[in-house]
Amino acid sequence: MIFATAAKNHASSGVRGITGSGVRGITGSGVRGITGSGVRGITGSGVRGITGSGVRGITGSGVRGITGSGVRGVAMSNEE
């Protein structure tokens, strides 16, 4: 799940520029350009161009309701 411990290393508007412990290296506008360890190699506009190992069972419209093994319990909206 996405957590930024006590807002540590947390700089975001909507879903932009979120970094923290457990959710490492998430950057992007809306849901674009998500990279990091745990959530590996996810890139694309909407749900397009998702690549990476351990990114299993991704479902949803936009980036809503992303669940799976490797990417566990990720749920976010690109609405701002």
Q: Give the tens place of pLDDT for each residue, 30-49.
A: 444 455 445 544 544 444 44
Q: How many domains does the chain have?
A: 1
Long-range own/partner contacts, residues 14-23 (CB < 8 A, 24 or more apart): 14/78, 14/79, 14/80, 15/63, 15/76, 15/77, 15/78, 15/80
Q: What is the largest CA-CA distance in the chain?
A: 32
For the stretch 37-45, contacts whose Cβ atoms lie closer than 8 Å and that sit 24 or more positions apart, written own/partner, are 38/70, 38/71, 39/71, 39/74, 40/70, 42/71
Mean pLDDT of 44-68: 48
Provide the mean pLDDT of the chain. Answer: 48
Which carries the bigger pLDDT value, residue 9 or residue 31? 31
Tell me which residue range forms the domain holding 74: 1-80
